[in-house]
Amino acid sequence: MRIIAAANMPFTDSLFFAIFPDEAARARISDIARRLRAQHNLKTQAIPAERLHITLHHLGAFDGLPADVLQQACDAASTVKLSPVDITLDRIESFSSRRAKRPLVLSGDITPSLQALVNALAPETHRLFKLHVTLLYDAHRGTRETVPEPVTWTSHEFALMRSHLSQSRHEIIARWMLNS
């Protein structure tokens, strides 16, 4: 499913499919972010624990929420019949960015179960997928670093998310269970 927003429109919202760390993984990810802030004397705040997620597929940015896009996304998601997804995040790295502040992320290798989910939601863009959870945004250009104890969990659901652009706020629109 590939959706592109019309050009020259004021974007207020974006839509994406995501999975979330469980409570234990969320706590570990937040601890890693706190440690990195202290270790590198970073000034920006970490992403709040309740907003930590893995974006599976970004559907686009829009002026409001187009009903046809929501329907297409929900229709596509409702056809997914897969088992729960295993996640392992074992390294910290920073992504390049055109902005002054770059994403500092916790990343890992894509498992077969995760690749199957990404392929089911976005078969035409799956090669662009990079498994990561954004920890914070900062000008710091960190080098890749291994996490001594990888963060792991099994995700039993995925969701369609609405991001209120420029508000640092996400809203769950719908959820689907992974249990083939």
Give the CA radius of gyration of the chain.
16
Tell me: pLDDT of 6 over 70.
no
Q: What is the DSSP string of the chain?
A: ----PPTTS---EEEEEEE---HHHHHHHHHHHHHHHHHHT--SPPPPGGG--EEEEEEEEESS--HHHHHHHHHHHHT-----EEEEEEEEEE---SSSSEEEEEE-PPPHHHHHHHHHH-TTTGGG---EEEEEEES--PPPEEEEEEEEEEE-EEEEEEEETTTTEEEEEEEEE---
What domains does the chain contain, in order, with CATH numbers?
Answer: 13-177 (3.90.1140.10)
Q: Which two tokens stand for residue 94?
A: 């920073």
pTM: predicted TM-score of the whole model, two decimal places: 0.87
pLDDT at 77: 96
pLDDT tens per residue, range 137-153: 887 777 788 998 999 99
**pLDDT attached to residue 162:** 92
What value does the mean pLDDT take over residues 69-96? 93
Position 131 scores a pLDDT of 95
Predicted pLDDT of residue 99? 64
Average pLDDT for residues 50-54, to the nearest whole number? 95
Where residue 100 falls among pLDDT bands split at 50, 70, 90? low
Please check the confidence at residue 2 and state whether its pLDDT lies above 50: no
Of 67-76, 119-128, 130-139, 149-158, the poorest mean pLDDT is in: 119-128
